[in-house]
Amino acid sequence: MIRSFPNDIISNYFNDIRNLLYKADGRNEIPPEDLFDFNVVNSIKKRVGKYTNNNSSILVLPEYSQTDIKNINLLDFDLAKGINYYNKNFIDLPLEITQKTVNIEIAFYFYLYSVIGRNNPKDSALSYLIISDYHAMQPSEFLYMMIVKKFETMVGNYQNCIKSAILHFQFDKKTKEKIILQHLISFYSDILRADDKQLSVFASVQLSKQVADVYSNILIEFLTLKLNALSPETDKYYVVAPEDKEAVRKVNKKTIYELPDNFSLTTLGVKSQALDIRQTAALFYYLRKHHATIEYTDSSYSKLVHYLSGHSAENLRKRSGFGNIIEIFRETRGGVKYSNLKNVKSLLEKIISDIDKEIKE
């Protein structure tokens, strides 16, 4: 476990996250100066039962009690599988984008992360004490602790993160680390510019946009430090410029366009027939991802897709479209898994078939 952050910029960002979480938790006290003091509560000596605060917007979902968690087998939850899944996502860089939410949600099985020796009778009692202590923590402290631990694990498994990025961006395995880092920095910079998206720090935890943005900045700073380690002294990259340098980012950014202010939509009353709104969003997501279109913001892009498909621009931007694209990819409809993606694939196969005919002729 690290006992300090890579630089003061990252330390300040973590301090900002803690203050935001305290505010979301309805707490007025000042957080400890030590950023690694998580105020873990001994539930037996100091508190009985779960910490509650009606003013808190941090939610633990579903609302399982301490007793429920201890008797996890009664919940038909595979503890070993759950921890393995959590570990895997805990190590990987968080590359998913999800719809923003006002509340901060903590899935209950995050409390199980520190359960050790479930099949070892000597450790089982100690394991349940750890669950009780974490479950009795104030939600803001627990979530802050888990975000710090996620960063620690990412730092300690940096090469695994690079491998995850190679898979995500579909790079060749021989792609230089410098190129991968530049793409990651661009990726997180895009998230910061999106009004209706957020970084999903954990697979099952939704963070408010403010907290998510600060964590995005932490990742950008960390990745920039790694990039600097690969760059010569005369060609350094930076996020926050030193006082003697111009405040210009040297890391290349994509140019993202907005439609002109006087751009207006016309209600046509017709819709394209091949794909419904969710399938249309999936198709145009991939067209944009593979640079077949100009890089517009989600709002502008939704308006353009509206003109082409007839589907509502507002719905394309939010729940039924780009703001919920990961769930749209995974959706099961009519008993068919990944139904939306399969319909898009079917349409593209028809198009490819027509192209093949033209090529042969």
Q: For residues 15 and 12, what is the distance between their CA atoms, to the nearest angstrom?
A: 5
**pLDDT tens, position by position, for the chain (361 residues)?**
567 899 989 999 999 999 999 998 888 888 988 999 987 766 555 544 455 567 788 877 666 666 666 666 555 556 566 656 666 666 667 776 666 667 787 776 677 655 544 444 444 555 555 667 777 788 888 889 888 888 888 888 888 888 888 887 778 888 889 888 888 888 888 777 666 566 767 666 777 878 888 888 899 999 999 988 887 655 555 554 444 444 344 454 455 667 776 777 766 678 888 999 999 999 998 898 888 988 777 778 888 999 899 888 888 887 788 877 878 888 899 889 999 999 999 999 999 999 999 998 7
User: Are 104 and 24 a contacting pair, CB within 8 Å?
Assistant: yes
Map out the domains of the chain as residue ranges. Answer: 8-230, 277-360
* Biggest CA pair distance of the chain: 82
pLDDT tens, 301-348?
888 999 899 888 888 887 788 877 878 888 899 889 999 999 999 999
pLDDT tens column, 325-337? 878 888 899 889 9
Angle of helix 277-289 relative to helix 339-360, nearest 10 degrees?
60
- Residue partners of 140: CB distance under 8 A and separation at least 6: 18, 21, 22, 24, 25, 27, 56, 58
Place of tokens 């479930």: 118
**CA pair distance 290, 27, nearest whole angstrom:** 45
